[in-house]
Structure 1
Amino acid sequence: MDTTSSWIDIQAGDGRFGAYLALPRGGKGPGIVLLQEIFGVNSHIRAVADQYAADGYVVLAPDLFWRSGPRIELGYDDVSWARAVELMNATDVDKAQQDIGHTVRALRAQPGVQGKVGAIGFCFGGRLAYHTAANGQVDAAVAYYGGGIHNALGRAPQVRIPLQMHFGALDAHIPADAVARIATAFEDNDGVEIHVYDQAQHGFNCNHRASYQQRAAAQAHGNTLVFLSDHL
């Protein structure tokens, strides 16, 4: 893949944390803050960063679990799942949002970033992408199967930037009624897109998981690229 990657350090109010930086060929493009699943900035998230870098974006994926330990990287077996849930529950979401703000500033300061900055998040990171949109920290945001968004719809009126959300029709963690509630909350917001993919489960974009659904992943990636090209 025609990208260059490295880890950089970002200063937070209570320490420093790492972030995976992926540069496109030529080193220049709009910016994307990539927000991890509950498994850390693992090989899958780094591959997603490299993928969007190959699509022409400067991508920065912050290590949001750094207060529990630097660069924690988990797989998808039962033991990893249990540890991932522990890490998610131990994460202070307000501090994570502050970390995202620091990451956005660090990304905008990268010499290769031209134009606007967006956020893309998956699962836990999808929920954070939604809050990032509500906070107005980026110019556009994309949330893949963001768990818990339906419990935070009080923030829906605060979303004033373009937002795209992706859900699987067979997602056991985000049932159809939750997606319907989200759709209702945003029915008068023309800047919000919601895509639901038939036969797709939670985590359908991750080819490291049994729930990977190639067609849904391809469709969602295409929809995301069109959305980003329109708004970044």
Structure 2
Amino acid sequence: MADTLKLKASDGHAFDAYLAQPSGKPRGGLVVIQEIFGVNSHMKSVADAFAEDGYLAICPALYDRYKPGIDLGYDEDDVTEGREIRAKVGNDDPLLDIAAAADAVRSAGRVGVVGYCWGGTLTWLAATKLDGFSVASSYYGGGIGGLVDLQPKCPVIFHFGEQDHAIPMDEVEKLRQAHPDLPVHVYPAGHGFNCDARGSYEPKSAEIARERTLEFFKQHMG
């Protein structure tokens, strides 16, 4: 079952969040962080899938800080628009929305966070700057190589594609060297390999990354 909630961040900003509920008692809460394309049908399906795995999954509409209801596809114009909106929204204010989303699912128990693309970067920022997360899974977050001096407050697992045009492997290696205790996995795939709506979708890599993520969640969320 899914609903759209109206949440309020600590700075008073009101925004929508897609909530996917498990059929039985939840394993815990999970904040699912969008790509640069908004909370579109793909992100809703990702939240739905985590709910099927037993998590109370919530996907906050981070672009509501720019304009409510943004739902982009994956063609060239959508990519350009998504990048422009992401630049306008920035990385700081969305952390307030992520914190509010985490609070909204905290009744389910321990709370984790998972994000893709821009959401992968925000996942790392949430794990290092916000309190209250028990675990995090970051997928191909751009710019993390420049954020390796941050220290995580919870266990984090990373997933990257070795053919990612946006994330050089030397950035991934920099992350590994800075945080040798954190699992960093590289797959024979490009950017966005988890998204079955994109041409870069690589099903085997997506399956393995998902299995690793779920196992990591079980280890640290019970």
TM-score range, shorter chain: over 0.9
Q: Is 2:114 the counterpart of 1:120?
A: yes
Counterpart Cα distance in 2 of 1:186 and 1:147: 17
Report how many aligned residue pairs link the two structures: 219
Counterpart Cα distance in 2 of 1:56 and 1:227: 14
Counterpart Cα distance in 2 of 1:168 and 1:93: 23
| Aligned position for 1:86 | 84
Work out which of the residue numbers 38, 42, 45 in structure 1 matches 2:43: 45
Per-residue deviation, 1:49? 0.3
Counterpart Cα distance in 1 of 2:153 and 2:28: 20
The TM-score normalised by the length of structure 1 is 0.92
| Aligned position for 1:161 | 154
Work out which of the residue numbers 197, 206, 231 in structure 1 matches 2:220: 231
The TM-score normalised by the length of structure 2 is 0.96
Per-residue deviation, 1:29? 2.7
CA deviations on 1:89-114 (whole Å, 9 max, x unpaired) are: 001321111111111111214xxx1x
Counterpart Cα distance in 2 of 1:226 and 1:196: 17
Structure 2 residue matching 1:230: 3-state secondary structure: helix
| Aligned position for 2:56 | 58
Q: Is 2:127 the counterpart of 1:133?
A: yes
Report the structure, 1 or 2, having the larger strand content: 1
| Aligned position for 1:9 | 6
Structure 1 residue matching 2:201: 3-state secondary structure: coil
CA root-mean-square deviation: 1.1
Per-residue deviation, 1:136? 4.1
Counterpart Cα distance in 2 of 1:160 and 1:22: 26
Amino acid at match of 1:150: G
Q: List runs of 5+ in structure 2 lacking aligned partners.
A: none
Counterpart Cα distance in 2 of 1:67 and 1:131: 18
Moved more, 13-22 or 50-59: 13-22
Q: Is the 8 A contact 1:136 1:159 kept in 2?
A: no
Q: Is the 8 A contact 1:136 1:161 kept in 2?
A: no
Q: Is 2:204 the counterpart of 1:206?
A: no
Amino acid at match of 2:147: A
User: Percentage identity across aligned positions?
Assistant: 40
